[in-house]
Structure 1
Amino acid sequence: MELTHFFFAFTSGSLWLLSFLFLMNVPGVNVKANRWLGAFYFILACTFTQLYIESSDFVHRYPLLIHYLELPRWAMLPCFYMAMLYFVNPGRKSLTIFFHFTPVLLFLLFSLVYIMPPFSGKANPLPDLPNFAPLIISHFFSLQLVVYWLLCFVAVRIHAQNIRLIASSIERIDLTWIKYVLFSLLFLLFLRISASVFEPLSAYLPVLYFLGTALLAYFSLKQGVIYPIRPAQLHELTEVFSKKPTTERLTTEQVDMLKTKVVTFMEKEKLYLEPGLTLPALADKIGISTHELSYVLNNGLSKNFYQFVNEMRVEEAKRLLASDEVNRLDMRGIATYAGFNSKTTFNTTFKKITGQTPTTFLKSFENPT
């Protein structure tokens, strides 16, 4: 077996296994998103199986098999995009899903009628197509790669803003691994475009495709729970994330009353010391809905949830730095006792809120001028 055949075979086999793992949701989290990701890997496996067959003698024995494997290709990138949307907002319900799969459904219908009719056993004469049609069809997948990569990138950027509305610590749910998945996909896109421009690169494509696929698999399997909340609360996140204007849920008097209740409850119970505190968890403890709490924070305090909690943590850190606790705790200990997940986040947040680093604050407190 030539090296080209080996890498195409190994890559396609790995992708078939990956598709099974994600369709069965072996990671055990982010169920809907992983099903879509499994569908993406399934179609990608079909593509590399096709490349393997085309590089071997099988292409002459089973010519229609190539077309069968090629049929779902236009659904590959929409599946990946759907996975990204459900990763960033698992409670979403949208009818626009079907719009993304219109091209592949039309191509499937065209294939069944003109290329491989399932009942007649012979192909019908192809209709007269415009001269530009073959050009569009041949480059449609490359266009999809660019468009859907950009859409996914925008979705992840929006997620980076949205998680501050519902989480007090974002290090473990900021979808950094998805960014690496996107750049792995970009690497495959770069290879595809480069090979069409720089012909000598084609000889190394099988190995490079394998490396790109390995990166995709590695970062996909690194995922964790993005929203550690009850499934019943997922639809409330969609309301919180929505940028559409809504009618006022609470009167000014109700906002003022709840604002006082929220601040008093947080200061009394010191819930900000819990690193994993979320908007739904706090809403449950206070006894109001997630959307109402978000409304009170945004309209009553002019802050998102992340700002609200971390400002309280910074105040706690300042109290610790000004107390005798500083004699037995280093900066990492101060960060932990104040509710921060990491020293880096502590330093960044402290400086952003106070205008100085924790160390500078400590020195100024020790040596007042």
Structure 2
Amino acid sequence: MSEINTLAAFYAFSSGALWLLGSLLFMGFDKVNIQANRWLGAFYYILACTFTQLFLEDFGIGGSFLIHLLELPRWAMLPCLYMAVNSYVSPSLPKKKWFFHFVPFLLFLIFSLVYLMPNLFNEQNDLLPSWIGFIVRYFFFIQTIYYWILCFSLLRCHQKNLKMVASFTEKIDLEWLRYLLISVLFLIFIRILSISNIQATYFSPILYFLGIILLAYSTLTQKSIYAIETYHPAEKDEIAPKKALNERLTPEQVEGLKYIVMRKTVDEKLYLDPSLTLSALSDNIGINTHELSYVLNNGVGKNFYQFINELRTEEAKSLLLSEDTKHLDMFGVAIRAGFNSKTTFYTTFKKATKLTPKEYIKANSEAH
């Protein structure tokens, strides 16, 4: 019995870590992502209640009323995570109809106040008919899977849309949030495993604790997210350019604008600006962002990220073989070519040439 209690103590470690993590987010350790961090902090607080409940149940501490209070906010847990992801992805946009995500929680709260809590005060054990217990248990599981998929879809859509308006995404692609969602999926997997396998139930407190460590690491390594144009969702005419073709630009207009875009961008080497965005380029060329995005997608056949970074790659190829830049290291060449990230430079260069920058230099040196 002492061995089981020792393992169950990891529920307390998980709970304590989550209470601390939620408090850090609410106190504002990041002064930029305030709203998103508060939603994520609420998610961690509710998750902490769950692990506190598991700890108390395993050690037989606390009565039914306390256990019920800790279980009460559970249906709000995943909606809080969804609101956090939504706020990270689009911090400057209003969150419409957010209230509806919490309707199941409010219904359960009302049901609890009217039916469950009076029975708890009267110390009646036959609290729920079996069919209600079944709904409560499995609705939460379905809700968890649904909101995780929703959160992951939001993140994927965000990362895809970024490349339509930004030429540099490493610091704003929310990659840390992807690891956080993977950590949440790990916790879900442990829950499923512990239901179906007795051995997994025995070791689940330790596995949960490892998942919480991953959550904490992902959260504390987040980068500040500023409300800039790169976080606005892509417009419908950017997502469905074929439909917009008949509404916005004719093929002749596309070709004409394509010529202007290429001439201005290449001749004036606008791509050398490492902070270049879709809106900055559209202002320089003199057309609006939707038309520029449309011309790039349909006329050039590339999104903004591909278009600009391929031009930078061509610049880098010239710089790598130039005698004037022999004194520069690879990062120096990347900066001179317009990149502000070595990762983007290497990835784009390798994709375009099938060679690393050093391999490219060697191959061209041997050719001469």
How high is the TM-score relative to the length of structure 1? 0.81
The answer to whether 1:18 aligns with 2:21 is yes
Contact 2:164 2:304 in 1 (8 A): yes
Paired residue for 2:47? 44
Shift of residue 268 of structure 1?
5.6
CA distance in 1, matches of 2:14, 2:96: 34
Contact 1:240 1:291 (8 Å CA) reproduced: no
Change (3 A) 1:313 1:110: same
Deviations 1:52-79 (A, max 9, x none): 332345423xx21221221110111121
User: In structure 2, what is the Cα distance between the partners aligned to 1:73 and 1:281?
Assistant: 45
Map of 1:134 onto structure 2: 133
Q: Quick check: 1:114–1:123 contact (8 Å CA) kept in 2? A: no
Q: Distance in 2 between matches of 1:128 and 1:4?
A: 30
Instruction: Deviation per CA, 1:134-181: give whole Å up to 9, x if none.
Output: 323222222233332233333333233222112212222332212221
From the superposition, tell whether residues 259 and 80 of structure 1 become closer, same or farther in structure 2 (CA, over 3 Å). same
Judged with a 3 Å threshold, the aligned counterparts in structure 2 of structure 1 residues 236 and 148 are, in CA distance, closer, same or farther, namely closer
| Paired residue secondary structure (1:277) | coil
Structure 1 CA distance for aligned equivalents of residues 192 and 11 of structure 2: 19
Q: Aligned pair in 2 of structure 1 residues 326, 365: CA closer, same or farther (>3 Å)?
A: farther
Q: Deviations over 1:164-205 (max 9, x none)?
A: 112212222332212221221122122212222222333333
Measure, in 2, the Cα distance between the counterparts of 1:288 and 1:235.
21
With over 3 angstroms needed to count, the CA separation of the structure-2 counterparts of 1:166 and 1:225, relative to structure 1, is farther
Aligned length: 361
Q: Report the residue type matching 2:196 in the other structure.
A: V
Give the unaligned 5+ runs of structure 2.
none
* Letter of the structure 2 residue corresponding to residue 134 of structure 1: G
Residue in structure 2 matched with residue 305 of structure 1 by the alignment: 304
Deviation at 1:223? 0.8
User: Is 1:179 the equivalent of 2:148?
Assistant: no
1:100 partner letter:
H
Higher mean displacement: 280-289 or 189-198: 280-289
Look up the equivalent residue of 2:163 and give its one-letter code.
Answer: R
- Alignment partner of 2:239: what SS? coil
CA distance in structure 2 between the partners assigned to 1:236 and 1:288 by the alignment: 19
Answer with 41-50 or 337-346: which moved more: 337-346
AA paired with 1:157? R
Gaps of 5+ in 1: none
Judge which range, 174-183 or 304-313, deviates more.
174-183
Q: CA, structure 1 residues 282+73, in 2 after alignment: closer, same or farther (shift >3 Å)?
A: same
- Map of 1:243 onto structure 2: 239
**Higher helix proportion (structure 1 or 2):** 2
Give CA deviations for 1:98-118 in whole Å, capped at 9, x if unaligned. Answer: 443232122112112211269
**Matched residue type, 2:44:** Y
C-alpha separation in 2, matches of 1:324 and 1:269: 23
Q: Please state how far the C-alpha of 1:90 moved relative to its aligned partner.
A: 2.9
User: How many Å separate the matches in 1 of 2:302 and 2:362?
Assistant: 30
Aligned alpha-carbon RMSD (Å): 3.6
Matches within 5 A, 1:321-332: 321-332=320-331
* Other-structure match for 2:35: 32
Aligned partner of 1:116 in structure 2 is: 117
Contact 2:92 2:227 survives alignment (8 Å): no
Which residue is equivalent to 1:314?
A: 313
TM, length-normalised to structure 2:
0.81
Shift of 1:216: 0.3
Cα distance, 1:272 vs structure 2: 2.4
Does the 8 Å CA contact 1:178/1:219 hold for their aligned counterparts? yes
Residue 148 of structure 1 corresponds to which residue in structure 2? 147
